[in-house]
Amino acid sequence: MEMGVDCLNPIEPPPMGDMTLRQAREVVGNRMCLEGNLEADDMFRAPAERIRRLVAEAIEDARGGGLILCPTSGFMEWPIATPRQVENYLTYIEAGLEYGKGFA
């Protein structure tokens, strides 16, 4: 924050990362936008219901400041999307629109 950063990416939750969006929000308040918090491996392998829950939790945890909801890394490692990945990305978008209504 002292450097004037407007957005911090990625915010990676445990066990792969070391901080949740809620923990980051507690540190920066509303002075910085946060980006990330959905592990790419979950997007590749988790059941769609887990994706919905993770999106809802991320949005709730980031309230009080800006949020760019996104996976913590890209999907370039998988040159052809599997049916699970397609389902999870569609679920992610739908859940983001649903739970993000009125985000503030």
For position 51, what pLDDT does the model report?
Answer: 97
Domain hosting residue 61, numbered range: 7-99
The total domain count for the chain is 1
Alpha helix segments (H runs only) across the chain: 21-28, 40-45, 48-61, 83-99
Query: What tokens appear for 18 in the block?
Result: 């070391």
- Residue 82 included in any domain: yes
Mean pLDDT of 23-36: 91
For position 1, what pLDDT does the model report?
Answer: 74
For position 104, what pLDDT does the model report?
Answer: 65
- Residue 75 included in any domain: yes
- Residue 1 included in any domain: no
- Residue 2 included in any domain: no
Query: What tokens appear for 83 in the block?
Result: 């049916």
What band does 34 get if pLDDT is binned at 50, 70 and 90?
A: very high
Cβ-contact 68, 34 below 8 angstroms: yes
What band does 50 get if pLDDT is binned at 50, 70 and 90?
A: very high
- Residue 13 included in any domain: yes
- C-alpha 49/C-alpha 63 separation (Å) is 22
Does 13 score more than 70 pLDDT? yes
Chain mean pLDDT for the chain: 89
